[in-house]
Chains A and B, each alone.
Chain A
C-alpha cells in the first residue's frame, strides 16, 4: 500500500468513525429531546400523559385570564372545540391578549392543567404562529384576515 492510498484510507476511516459517532449522538438526542406541537383537540384525542413536555397552541379564550397575587397567571387555550387550562409563572409576552393566538411550552400535570414554562404570543400584528393557524383551520375556527 503506497503512502497516498494509506492516507486516503485514514481519511475515509476518520470520516466513517466521526459520521457514525455523530449519527449515534443525533439519533439518541432526537429521540428524547423533540417537542411535539398539539392543539387542544389533539391533547384530548391523544390522551397525552402528564409530565411529557410538548407545545400547545391556540387562542387565549376571552375572559379566561386570571392573575394571582404574584407573577402567576392562569388562562385557557382553545381551538373552538376543546379547552385546556394553562398555568404559568412569569412575564407574559407583550402581545399576549385574550382572543389572540398563543403558543406555550410545558407539560400537563396530573389534574389535567398545562404547566407552562414558556409562553409565546405572536410576534407582531402581521402574523400568527403558523402552528396556531393550522390548529384553527383544523377545528374550523380560522377566518382569513381575521383573528
Chain B
C-alpha cells in the first residue's frame, strides 16, 4: 500500500500546485489578499503532501520493500540502516523527490513569513507554484519513485558504495537547500517584475531567502569538497570537475546577488540588475541540475542516463529561463531607477564586486560547457582541466580580494577615497609582515606564496580591524567581517595545500618504511576488517616524527560484493594546521601494498574558511530575523 499512498500524495501535491500557481499569479492583478490566502493554504497543503510522499519512500527503504522498483534498484538487505535511509536521495528518483520537498519547504516559508506586500507574496507563490507543477510532472512522468516491480526480487541491487558515507548523507540535502533556495529569490524577482513592485522593501523581503540559499550552498560545497578529499583518495580538494563547477556557478552568482541586493535595499540602486542576477542565479541552479542529472556528464553524480529525462529537464530549463528573461525584457525598461551615486562610493565598490564575480562565473561556465558544445557540434572530444581555471578564475579572484577590503569602508552615495583607505594601512602592514614571514619560513614557491599570504592577511586583517573600529557592533557588521575573513582563511588553505604538498608513493610490506613531509611511516600488519556489506583489508601504519612514534593510522580498502566495487578508506591525521593523509592502493606481489601518502600543509583551513563564511551568513540572517520579530514595521528596520 505504501507506494500507492506516495503516488496519491504526489498527485494531490500536483493538483495543489496548479491551484497555487493560478491563484497566486491572479493575485498580482486582483484581490491580492484573498489570492494570497488561498495560495498560502495551497502552499501549506503542498508541503504536507510532498512530505508525506517523501516519508512513504523513506519507510519503504527502511522496511526494504523490494516490490518498489526504486528500492530494489538502489538498496539491499545487508546495507546498514542509516544508509538505507540516506540512500533514498542517493539515486535519481529519490533525489528529485528531495528537490521538490525542499521547493515545498521554501514555498511554505514564503507563505508563512508574508514578507512584502500581499500582491508580491501572492505573485511569488504563483511562480513557486509553476516550478512545483513542472517538477512534479517531471517526477510523475519520467522519474516516479513509486513504480512497482512484480515479482519483487529477494534482495536489492545495492547503493553505489562511494555514497555509503556520512558526509554524503548530509551533502546532497544541504546543497539542495542552496540550489532550490535560489528559487525563492527567483520567484520574488519574477513577482517584482509582474507587480512592478521593485524597491528597497522588495529587497528586504527577498534577502533572507537569498541568504538562506547562500549559506546552504556554502556549507554544501564545503562538505562536497571535504568528501571528495577523504573519500576519493586522491588527496585533492577541488578537481574543477563539471559537477563541482555546477555547484560553484550558482554560488558565485548568489554571492554577487547578495552584494547587489544590499545596494538595492539601501539606496534603490542596481534594482534591474539585482532582478537579473536573481534570475541568473536560479537559472544556473537549473543548469547545474540538468548537467548533473541528465547524464551528459559522467560522474558519481550522474544517476540518470535516460535521454527522455534529459529532454524533459532541458525543456523545463528553456521554459523557466526563457520565460523569466522574456518577462525581464518586457518589464525592466519601465521600472524606476534608483538614486545616483558618485564614482567613489559603496555602490561603485559593489559594482566592482559584481562585475568580477560575474566574470568569474562566466569563465567557469565556459570551461564547463565549451567541451559539451564542441562535442555536440563537431564530435571533437576535449576536456578542460585545472590549468584553464588557474589562468582565468584565479586572476579574477585575486583582483576581487585586492579590492575587497575597500568596499565596507566606503560610504554610500559619495565617499572620500583617502579617508576610507587610511584606516586600511595597518592591514597593508599585516600583509607585508605576512609576506616577509613567508619569505623566511618556506623553501619553495616563495614568490607565489608571499603574494597569496599577503593577500589573505590583507583581507583578514582589514575585516577584523573594520569590526573592531565600529562603534556599534551590529549583526550586519559582524556578518560582513566574518564572511570576508572566512574567504581569507580558505585562501590560505588552498595556497598551502597547492604549493607545499608533499606526496610519496611507496610499495610497503610489514616493517618497511617511507617518509612524507616531516613524518616517517612504518608499515605494520595487514588485517581483515569486514563490515556488514563489504569485505575490507586494513593496514596498520605507524607514524613517527623526529624519532618519536606519534600515531597509528589505519587506511583500508573495501570490496563491496553486491555492487562489485572497491573503495579506498583514507586515514587522515590532522593537527588543525596540516594533514597527514594515507590511502591504501592495490596489492603488488605477496603481502606488499602500494601506499599513497600526502602531507598537506594548511589543508584544514580550506574547510574552516568555508565554515566561517557560512557563519557570517548565519549572523546576517539572524540579525534580520531578530529585527523583523522585534519591529514588524518595515520602515524601522530600514533605519537600522
Q: List residues of chain A with CB under 8 Å of any chain B CB.
A: 3-4, 6-7, 10-11, 14-15, 18-19, 21-22, 25-26, 28-30, 32-37, 55, 67, 69-71, 89-92, 94-96, 123-125, 127, 129-131, 134
**Given contact pairs A22-B392, A36-B381, a sample of 18 additional A-B residue pairs in the complex whose CB atoms are under 8 Å apart:** A4-B337, A7-B341, A18-B356, A19-B359, A21-B359, A22-B363, A25-B396, A28-B391, A29-B388, A30-B366, A33-B388, A33-B391, A35-B383, A71-B594, A89-B505, A90-B505, A123-B299, A124-B565
Interface flag for B637 (CB, 8 Å): no
Interface flag for B586 (CB, 8 Å): yes
Chain B's closest residue to A3 (CB) is B340
CB pair A71–B356 under 8 Å, yes or no, is no
Q: Say how far B140's CB is from chain A's closest CB, in angstroms.
A: 25
Partner of A124, one of B351, B381, B563: B563
Interfacial chain A residues near B391, Cβ < 8 Å: 25, 28-29, 33
Given known pairs A18-B359, A36-B382, A125-B565, the reply for A91 and B366 (CB within 8 Å) is no
Chain A's closest residue to B160 (CB) is A124
Taken together as a complex, chains A and B put the C-alpha atoms of A89 and B396 apart, in Å, by: 35
- We find that the number of chain B residues with CB closer than 8 angstroms to chain A is 52
Partner of B298, one of A18, A36, A130: A130
CB pair B340–A7 under 8 Å, yes or no, is yes
Given known pairs A11-B351, A19-B359, A30-B388, the reply for A70 and B381 (CB within 8 Å) is no
CB pair B589–A67 under 8 Å, yes or no, is yes
Given known pairs A7-B341, A29-B391, A33-B387, the reply for A92 and B585 (CB within 8 Å) is yes
Taken together as a complex, chains A and B put the C-alpha atoms of A77 and B50 apart, in Å, by: 49
Q: Say how far A112's CB is from chain B's closest CB, in angstroms.
A: 22
Please list 20 pairs of residues, one from A and one from B, whose beta carbons are closer than 8 Å in the complex, sorted by A's number.
Answer: A4-B340, A18-B355, A25-B363, A25-B396, A29-B388, A30-B370, A33-B387, A33-B388, A33-B391, A34-B384, A34-B388, A67-B588, A71-B585, A91-B505, A94-B566, A94-B586, A123-B298, A124-B563, A127-B305, A130-B298
Interfacial chain B residues near A10, Cβ < 8 Å: 343, 348, 351
Q: List residues of chain B with CB under 8 Å of any chain A CB.
A: 160, 233, 298-300, 305, 337, 340-341, 343, 348, 351-352, 355-356, 358-359, 362-363, 366-367, 370-371, 380-385, 387-388, 391-392, 395-396, 505-507, 557, 563-568, 583, 585-586, 588-589, 594, 596
Given known pairs A14-B352, A123-B300, A124-B160, the reply for A95 and B384 (CB within 8 Å) is no
CB pair B363–A34 under 8 Å, yes or no, is no
Taken together as a complex, chains A and B put the C-alpha atoms of A139 and B488 apart, in Å, by: 51
CB pair A55–B299 under 8 Å, yes or no, is no
Per DSSP, chain B at the interface is mixed
CB pair B355–A14 under 8 Å, yes or no, is yes
Partner of B380, one of A30, A36, A130: A36
Interfacial chain A residues near B233, Cβ < 8 Å: 91
Interfacial chain A residues near B305, Cβ < 8 Å: 127
Given known pairs A7-B341, A25-B363, A91-B586, the reply for A34 and B382 (CB within 8 Å) is yes
Chain A's closest residue to B586 (CB) is A92
Interfacial chain A residues near B343, Cβ < 8 Å: 10
Question: Closest 4 A-B residue pairs measured CB to CB?
Answer: A94-B566, A91-B585, A37-B381, A29-B391
Interfacial chain B residues near A37, Cβ < 8 Å: 381-383
Taken together as a complex, chains A and B put the C-alpha atoms of A18 and B363 apart, in Å, by: 12
Interfacial chain B residues near A22, Cβ < 8 Å: 359, 362-363, 392, 396
Taken together as a complex, chains A and B put the C-alpha atoms of A91 and B367 apart, in Å, by: 28
Interfacial chain A residues near B352, Cβ < 8 Å: 14
Chain A's closest residue to B565 (CB) is A124
Taken together as a complex, chains A and B put the C-alpha atoms of A55 and B385 apart, in Å, by: 12
Q: Say how far B304's CB is from chain A's closest CB, in angstroms.
A: 11
CB pair A71–B396 under 8 Å, yes or no, is no
Taken together as a complex, chains A and B put the C-alpha atoms of A30 and B505 apart, in Å, by: 32
Q: Say how far A79's CB is from chain B's closest CB, in angstroms.
A: 14
Taken together as a complex, chains A and B put the C-alpha atoms of A59 and B63 apart, in Å, by: 41
Interfacial chain B residues near A18, Cβ < 8 Å: 355-356, 358-359
CB pair B505–A71 under 8 Å, yes or no, is yes
Taken together as a complex, chains A and B put the C-alpha atoms of A75 and B391 apart, in Å, by: 34
Taken together as a complex, chains A and B put the C-alpha atoms of A98 and B381 apart, in Å, by: 24
CB pair A26–B383 under 8 Å, yes or no, is no
Q: Say how far A94's CB is from chain B's closest CB, in angstroms.
A: 3
CB pair B298–A14 under 8 Å, yes or no, is no
Q: Say how far B285's CB is from chain A's closest CB, in angstroms.
A: 22
Chain A's closest residue to B385 (CB) is A35
CB pair B384–A33 under 8 Å, yes or no, is yes
Taken together as a complex, chains A and B put the C-alpha atoms of A71 and B567 apart, in Å, by: 19
CB pair A134–B381 under 8 Å, yes or no, is yes
